[in-house]
């Protein structure tokens, strides 16, 4: 069975779970009517099913290659990228001032997820451009905006983000790249950047690198970092592509998955660049891009999960093995059914969380209300981490559903796991996301988390009469999460929070997932969504107990053993 983008699922979430009317009442998104929403999702779905999905295996089998200094991408990728660009999908969320569609993030997120499921390696290219577009919109000078935004939005050029260096990964502040002021409004950038997704390729005529570097004399750590735009080819005044800039592609990584995405090591040698945002304000500017990208990466996890689920489901419906009262294919067996339902239920939970985060971003943008901003900020690390964990878990279950066939590469089940594995690592590892959640996102003393829990419990109360077991389970889980959140924010030594950060994030996602399943059940009483909600509450929500128990342990047991004992 070929991949089919989950158009109906997005429609359901937007129209039934999110308050789409409130969004449509804003000036900014008044045009995003139900009809337009439906048309956009359908159109994007068609592109995914017909154009992008057929490229997914080709990228794996014929990885991007660096030959004689030139990167050649996988067969069909140039055409695939062109189709995304022509459809306007790169600049969906970008301002119409420079050619974007100005659509809400809920649509961008939906379309990005659908495209990730179709072909993760290729979808990474526009995702990087989108982050760069947003960063430039917020922080670049008008001259840069005028020159670069139309090119990035149209897909004539693409964007990348350059943070990591060999000694500076999660610890961005340790970077050594330097930027020397040329005194003419430009800077000379030198240094080495690694893990640059789509850092070099042949699908567009120019590549614009957003590079973090330090001006000599700037303070150490993240404070002293500035952001620079460094194009591969220097643009002429008229926007045409001019001379080659001082950035060379040293190598492409040989990776576990996403073979179709060229991951480059880039060497900058006095490359000409332009500062974006204020001097020593590079981290803040880059974070605009990062937050967007983090939600996008969460969507990548969910997209691959959807594809892996469909793939496993098709196999389970066709593979005959043993007999059961319930049928003759393996989909009839209880344990296979349990896996398939867990896949579907987790995808719905992760997707609802991501869409709720996107909705908060839209409302923040449309209303300027800081409560929406805080809500988006709280949900972003959860959406990223849980979405990617679900991607890995579902892809892994997809292999298991296939049995021996799952271990054979030709089946395609293994590729999903190999591809999606990176999503838990890049744009901030899931450990970093969890630390962000329990530290920075709890600087309000847990107020925003508390508001979300109030909302969940109000929903549970309202549903109590109609579906008492589900409502009670959701309410109880929310209360346990609330108590643990109170414990967490009371810890002044951040290490006590970090010691349980990952289980805390996972439990938070579990409870949010239960909330959205309950909401879906209420919108589909007696229907398949209520049945799936019941499954989720029975079999996935119970995880939260053990997870939250761990959170309240604090740091002590982690440091009781010293490293000699641990590595003995």
- Name the residues annotated as catalytic: 427
Output the smallest distance, CB 534 to its own copies, in A.
5
Q: Rounded to an integer, what distance in angstroms lies between the CA atom of residue 196 and that of residue 258?
A: 13
Residue given tokens 């346990």 in the structure block: 480
Q: Which of 49, 253, 444, 479 is in the footprint of its own copies by CB under 8 A?
A: 253
Cβ proximity to its own copies, 236 vs 495, nearer residue: 495
Task: Kindly provide the residue ranges of all beta strands, DSSP E only, lying in 45-166, ordered along the sequence.
Answer: 65-67, 70-72, 157-162
- Total residues interacting with its own copies, rule: CB under 8 A: 92
Q: Which stretch binds its own copies (CB under 8 A): 47-55, 134-142, 299-307, 549-557?
A: 549-557
Q: Which of 145, 255, 451, 464 is in the footprint of its own copies by CB under 8 A?
A: 255
Tokens, residue 384: 């990223």
Q: Is 498 in the site for its own copies (CB under 8 A)?
A: yes
Report whether 433 contacts 294 (CB < 8 A): yes
Q: Is 425 in the site for its own copies (CB under 8 A)?
A: yes
Report whether 231 contacts 207 (CB < 8 A): yes
Q: Is 254 in the site for its own copies (CB under 8 A)?
A: yes
Q: Which of 27, 142, 492, 568 is in the footprint of its own copies by CB under 8 A?
A: 568
Q: Is 42 in the site for its own copies (CB under 8 A)?
A: no
Give, as ranges, the residues between 20 and 39 that touch its own copies (CB under 8 A).
Answer: none
Output the smallest distance, CB 527 to its own copies, in A.
8
Q: Could you give the string, one character per residue 315-334, with x where binding to its own copies holds by CB under 8 A and - elsewhere?
A: --x--xxx-xxxx---x-xx
Q: Which of 421, 441, 482, 517 is in the footprint of its own copies by CB under 8 A?
A: 421
Q: Rounded to an integer, what distance in angstroms lies between the CA atom of residue 389 and that of residue 387?
A: 6
Give, as ranges, the residues between 181 and 210 that touch its own copies (CB under 8 A).
Answer: 194-195
Q: Which of 46, 338, 440, 525 is in the footprint of its own copies by CB under 8 A?
A: 338
Element (H, E) at 388: helix 370-402
Q: Which stretch binds its own copies (CB under 8 A): 130-138, 201-209, 276-284, 431-439?
A: 431-439
Q: Which residues pair with 247 in a beta bridge?
A: 268
Q: Give the 3-state secondary structure of residue 194.
A: strand
Cβ proximity to its own copies, 28 vs 170, nearer residue: 170
Q: Rounded to an integer, what distance in angstroms lies between the CA atom of residue 207 and that of residue 202?
A: 10
Cβ proximity to its own copies, 140 vs 343, nearer residue: 343
Tokens, residue 167: 């000694």
Alpha helices for 119-182 (secondary structure H): 120-139, 142-154
Q: Which stretch binds its own copies (CB under 8 A): 165-173, 231-239, 276-284, 366-374?
A: 165-173
Q: Which of 352, 356, 374, 430 is in the footprint of its own copies by CB under 8 A?
A: 430
Q: Rounded to an integer, what distance in angstroms lies between the CA atom of residue 272 and that of residue 446?
A: 44
Report whether 139 contacts 227 (CB < 8 A): yes
Give, as ranges, the residues between 524 and 543 that touch its own copies (CB under 8 A).
Answer: 528, 531-532, 534-535, 538-539, 542-543
Q: Could you give the string, one character per residue 288-307, with x where binding to its own copies holds by CB under 8 A and - elsewhere?
A: --------------------
Q: Which stretch binds its own copies (CB under 8 A): 106-114, 311-319, 348-356, 511-519?
A: 311-319
Q: Is 557 in the site for its own copies (CB under 8 A)?
A: yes
Backbone angles phi, psi at 111, to 5 degrees: -65, -40
Tally of CB atoms within 10 A around 466: 12
Give, as ranges, the residues between 359 and 418 that touch its own copies (CB under 8 A).
Answer: 392, 396, 399-400, 403-404, 406-410, 414, 417-418
> What distances in angstroms separate CA 555 from CA 154, 491, 502, one per listed residue?
50, 11, 13
Q: Give the 3-state secondary structure of residue 322.
A: strand
Element (H, E) at 206: strand 206-214
Cβ proximity to its own copies, 2 vs 370, nearer residue: 2
Angle (nearest 5°) at CA 293 between 35 and 506: 95
Report whether 276 contacts 287 (CB < 8 A): no
Report whether 159 contacts 210 (CB < 8 A): yes
Q: Which of 58, 71, 434, 522 is in the footprint of its own copies by CB under 8 A?
A: 434
Q: Which of 75, 102, 169, 281 is in the footprint of its own copies by CB under 8 A?
A: 169
């Amino acid at each position: 069975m070929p991949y089919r983008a989950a158009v109906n699922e997005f429609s359901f979430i937007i129209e039934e779970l999110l308050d789409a009317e409130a969004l449509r009442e804003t000036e900014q998104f008044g045009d995003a009517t139900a009809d337009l929403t439906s048309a956009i999702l359908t159109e994007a779905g068609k592109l995914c099913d017909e154009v992008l999905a057929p490229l997914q295996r080709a990228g794996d089998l014929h990885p991007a290659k660096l030959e004689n200094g030139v990167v050649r991408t996988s067969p069909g990728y140039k055409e695939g990228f062109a189709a995304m660009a022509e459809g306007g999908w790169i600049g969906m969320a970008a301002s119409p001032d420079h050619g974007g569609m100005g659509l809400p993030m809920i649509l961008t997120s939906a379309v990005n997820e659908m495209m990730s499921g179709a072909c993760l390696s290729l979808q990474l290219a526009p995702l990087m451009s989108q982050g760069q577009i947003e960063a430039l919109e917020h922080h670049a000078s008008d001259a840069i905006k005028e020159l670069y935004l139309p090119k990035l939005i149209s897909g004539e050029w693409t964007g990348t983000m350059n943070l990591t260096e060999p000694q500076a990964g999660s610890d961005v502040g340790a970077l050594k790249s330097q930027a020397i002021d040329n005194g003419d409004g430009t800077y000379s950038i030198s240094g080495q950047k690694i893990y640059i997704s789509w850092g070099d390729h042949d699908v567009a005529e120019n590549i614009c690198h957003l590079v973090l570097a330090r001006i000599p004399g700037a303070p150490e750590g993240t404070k002293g970092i500035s952001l620079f735009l460094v194009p591969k080819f220097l643009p002429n005044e008229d926007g045409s592509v001019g001379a080659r800039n001082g950035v060379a592609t040293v190598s492409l990584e040989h990776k576990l998955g996403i073979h179709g995405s060229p991951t480059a090591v880039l060497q900058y040698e006095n490359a000409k660049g332009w500062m974006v945002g204020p001097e020593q304000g590079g981290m803040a500017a880059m974070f605009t891009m990062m937050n967007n990208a983090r939600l996008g990466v969460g969507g990548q996890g969910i997209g691959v999960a959807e594809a892996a689920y469909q793939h496993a489901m098709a196999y389970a419906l066709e593979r005959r093995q043993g007999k059961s009262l319930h049928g003759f294919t393996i989909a009839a067996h209880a344990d296979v059914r349990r896996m398939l339902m867990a896949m579907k239920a987790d995808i719905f939970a992760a997707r609802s969380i991501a869409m709720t985060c996107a909705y908060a971003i839209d409302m923040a943008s449309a209303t300027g209300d800081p409560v929406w901003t805080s809500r988006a900020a709280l949900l972003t690390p959860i959406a990223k981490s849980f979405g990617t964990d679900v991607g890995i878990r579902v892809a892994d279950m997809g292999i298991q559903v296939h049995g021996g066939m799952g271990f054979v590469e030709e089946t395609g089940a293994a590729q999903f796991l190999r591809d999606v594995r990176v999503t838990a690592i890049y744009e901030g590892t899931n450990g970093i996301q969890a630390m962000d959640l329990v530290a920075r996102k709890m600087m309000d003393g847990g107020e925003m988390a508390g508001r979300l829990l109030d909302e969940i419990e109000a929903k549970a109360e309202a549903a109590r009469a109609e579906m008492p077991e589900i409502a009670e389970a959701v309410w109880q889980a929310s209360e346990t999460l609330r108590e643990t959140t109170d414990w967490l924010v009371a810890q002044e030594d951040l290490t006590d929070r970090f010691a349980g950060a990952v289980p805390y994030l996972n439990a938070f996602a579990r409870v949010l997932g239960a909330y959205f399943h309950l909401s879906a059940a209420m919108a589909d009483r007696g229907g398949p969504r209520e049945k799936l909600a019941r499954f989720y509450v029975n079999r996935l929500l119970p995880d939260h107990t053990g997870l939250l128990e761990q959170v309240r342990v604090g740091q002590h047991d982690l440091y009781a053993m010293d490293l000699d004992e641990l590595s003995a």
